[in-house]
Structure 1
Amino acid sequence: MKTRTFILTCLLAMPAGHLAAQQPAEPEQRATVTTRGDSIIILKGKGDMRIKVYEDQLEEGEEKEVEIYEGVYLEKVDADKRTFLDALPFIPKKKRYNSYEPHNSGLYIGFSRMSNDFLSFGTGKQANLDLSQSWEFGFNFLSVYHNFKKNPHWGLNFGANWGYRSFSIDGNRALLKTNGASVLTEGDEETGYSKSRLRHFFFRIPVTLEWQQQLGNHRLIFFNAGPEFEIRHGVKSFSHINGGKKQTVGKGMYVRPVGVNLLAQAGYGNLGIYLRYSTYGLFQKDKGMEVSPYSFGIAWYW
């Protein structure tokens, strides 16, 4: 019998052997198909199926079965299936060429400012800050995504991060609660203020649409942008009064507990830059200065 006939028979027998393997049985199953004196043996083990084809041949005047073909059929494993552990940072992940990799800010640090007008990048006249001492830092502790193709350029990222932001108030001034509002108060001959700060902690949940392109060395260039929901807590105003130790001069400070930012990020590989801009004022209406905070800096993505 011709060899190609045996191979065709082998392929036709493969589904039958696979279905037989689904039935409760011993770890290894064996099926033998005999045709015109020749035989096809199918061995179903854990994770694979081995197929051997034997042909009757004359050797030294005797008929013997000689193996003329052997193949291995591996069961398909879904390598793209994700678990909850894939969403957590610091968990080693197998990287595949041309696979989508989300870029939420793993660890980031940058400068913070206050502007008088939305989407203005000038320094707010109402709040003169020491820009070199006004900063924020945070880290991402949850990252998930949805990609649109098997080998995509586009994806939707979701994350959650926590951090700290501090505004350094320049000059002899401090942010105090006065008549039901937060007011920048000038020091006088009796009370002097120095190194004053307004700080708060935050939880942020970014939702960004990302485009990325794989380069020849398997690194990515990427850009993403989208809204970011922010929950502020632990708001305090500090100052050094008359050159003494740092004191808390106010809590809460009528800062909005919830904010919505616009976030844009771009980078190469695991490094990038970001710009974050609040869509409305930091303080509650008629409870403080009309200023919009924004920040920019660098990020390392994991």
Structure 2
Amino acid sequence: MNNKLLVLLPASLISVAAFGGVSKDTVVVKSTSSVDTVVSKSSSIVKHNIASVKENVDTVVVTVGKRGLYVSEDLNGDVSVWTSKHKKKEKNFYSHLSGFGLGVNVYLNKDGAMKLPDQYKDMDLNVSKSINVVLNLFDVSQPLISNKLAITAGVGTEWHNYRFSEDITLVKENGVLKTKALTGNVVKTKLTDWWLNVPVALELNGGKYNSFYASFGAVGSLLLNSHTKVVTRDGGKQKDKNWNAFYLNPFRVSLMAKVGYGNFGVYATYSLVQMFQEDKGPELYPFAAGVTLNF
């Protein structure tokens, strides 16, 4: 180490210690051939190295806490001294958007009730068997405040199973959706749709994965396919699937909420877009709620 730098080093350490708020620390410098280390001991900080010194050619870097002091000698022998504050290491944000969800789904009228229009009243649902399945495959996040608040987005998929309580199925007739009564020993009849989802949400959590979290946002969805399924038992079990869009809106935007702790939570979604195309079917809005296992 250059002699002039050695003369300035003790004064630099005293200056940085005073500037960094550690004036009571005792700084001991131990020099090696390549790297100098500074160990600090005080009544408030024990067995922690909060200062370091590194020599690089004609520059000595002195670090105390979050402060750095640079001492450099140029070719003419002039010495420059300056300080800087170290950038705080960014912490990761732990999103809870990805996961598997299982719940029930229904459709509501424009007033938020389950009462159906008279001409579609036989579309009443068996709610306990109307199963909603959500699978969010992966997500990304952009922290807004430290590692506790962030915008998260992802890609996933979702299935709605609307299990009819009456023995009916859906058909397209004269450009509109209608119900058709079924005969025989009907075991099951339902409408199923499958969606590609892109959720975007604002999430607040405790700064780590195993913490309480709350997430609110929206889900954009694209219809992939849909079908009705009728299962009867007349002289043997028979299944009949009819693959058709049934005038379902191909795009959907839903409000989303998700709260929980760590790997577990509850979720709810409500579509802002009608389930069926306007004037093609009843004015209904899908709603789903359930539990989720995050990963």
Q: Contact 1:230 / 1:260 at 8 angstroms: preserved in 2?
A: yes
The offset of 1:182, in angstroms, is: 2.1
2:20 is matched with which residue? none
Say which of 119, 136, 141 aligns to 1:140: 136
Q: Contact 1:181 / 1:286 at 8 angstroms: preserved in 2?
A: yes
Question: Amino acid of the residue matched to residue 174 of structure 1?
Answer: T
Q: Does 1:297 align with 2:282?
A: no
Instruction: Summarize the alignment of residues 11-50 of structure 1 with structure 2, pairs less than 5 Å apart.
Output: 42-43=33-34, 50=35
- How far apart are the structure 2 equivalents of 1:121 and 1:210? 29
Question: Amino acid of the residue matched to residue 148 of structure 1?
Answer: L
Q: Does 1:8 align with 2:40?
A: no
**Change beyond 3 A, Cα 1:182–1:193:** farther
Question: Amino acid of the residue matched to residue 103 of structure 2?
Answer: G
Q: Contact 1:270 / 1:300 at 8 angstroms: preserved in 2?
A: yes
In structure 2, the gaps of 5 or more residues are: 14-29, 39-50, 55-62, 64-85
The offset of 1:287, in angstroms, is: 1.6
The offset of 1:277, in angstroms, is: 0.5
- How far apart are the structure 2 equivalents of 1:147 and 1:170? 46
Superposed CA deviations along residues 83-136 of structure 1, whole A, max 9, x for unmatched, are xxxxxxxxxxxxx6xx53112141111101111126x15354642011111112
Q: What is the TM-score normalised by the length of structure 2?
A: 0.67
Q: Does 1:177 align with 2:172?
A: yes
Q: Contact 2:98 / 2:137 at 8 angstroms: preserved in 1?
A: no
**Change beyond 3 A, Cα 1:71–1:222:** closer
Question: Amino acid of the residue matched to residue 155 of structure 2?
Answer: A
- Bigger CA drift: 234-243 or 201-210? 234-243
The offset of 1:142, in angstroms, is: 2.0
Instruction: Summarize the alignment of residues 212-251 of structure 1 with structure 2, pairs less than 5 Å apart.
Output: 212-214=205-207, 219-240=210-231, 243=234, 244-251=237-244
SS at match of 2:95: coil
Where does structure 1 differ by over 3 angstroms across 4 or more consecutive aligned residues?
Answer: 4-11, 39-42, 70-74, 76-80, 121-126, 191-194, 241-244
Superposed CA deviations along residues 252-294 of structure 1, whole A, max 9, x for unmatched, are 1111111000001111122110110111211111222221111
Say which of 244, 253, 265 aligns to 1:260: 253
Q: Contact 2:276 / 2:282 at 8 angstroms: preserved in 1?
A: yes
Q: Does 1:130 align with 2:126?
A: yes
Superposed CA deviations along residues 122-169 of structure 1, whole A, max 9, x for unmatched, are 3546420111111121222220011113x3432111011113221111
Question: Amino acid of the residue matched to residue 132 of structure 2?
Answer: E
Instruction: Summarize the alignment of residues 149-168 of structure 1 with structure 2, pairs less than 5 Å apart.
Output: 149=145, 151-168=146-163
Aligned CA RMSD, in angstroms, stands at 3.4
Question: Amino acid of the residue matched to residue 165 of structure 1?
Answer: H
Q: Contact 1:155 / 1:210 at 8 angstroms: preserved in 2?
A: yes
Superposed CA deviations along residues 202-250 of structure 1, whole A, max 9, x for unmatched, are 11111111222359xx731111111110111121111135745110235
Question: What count of residue pairs does the alignment treat as equivalent?
Answer: 229
The offset of 1:180, in angstroms, is: 2.1
- How far apart are the structure 1 equivalents of 2:37 and 2:182? 92
SS at match of 1:197: strand
1:101 is matched with which residue? 94
- How far apart are the structure 1 equivalents of 2:52 and 2:271? 62
**Change beyond 3 A, Cα 1:42–1:6:** farther
Question: Amino acid of the residue matched to residue 229 of structure 2?
Answer: F
The offset of 1:196, in angstroms, is: 0.9
Q: Contact 2:190 / 2:229 at 8 angstroms: preserved in 1?
A: yes
SS at match of 2:154: strand
In structure 1, the gaps of 5 or more residues are: 12-38, 44-49, 54-69, 81-95
Q: Contact 2:202 / 2:215 at 8 angstroms: preserved in 1?
A: yes
**Change beyond 3 A, Cα 1:121–1:159:** farther
1:29 is matched with which residue? none
- How far apart are the structure 2 equivalents of 1:121 and 1:297? 19
Q: What is the TM-score normalised by the length of structure 1?
A: 0.65
Percent identical among aligned pairs is 21
Q: Contact 1:173 / 1:194 at 8 angstroms: preserved in 2?
A: no
Superposed CA deviations along residues 6-25 of structure 1, whole A, max 9, x for unmatched, are 743897xxxxxxxxxxxxxx
Q: Contact 2:153 / 2:200 at 8 angstroms: preserved in 1?
A: yes
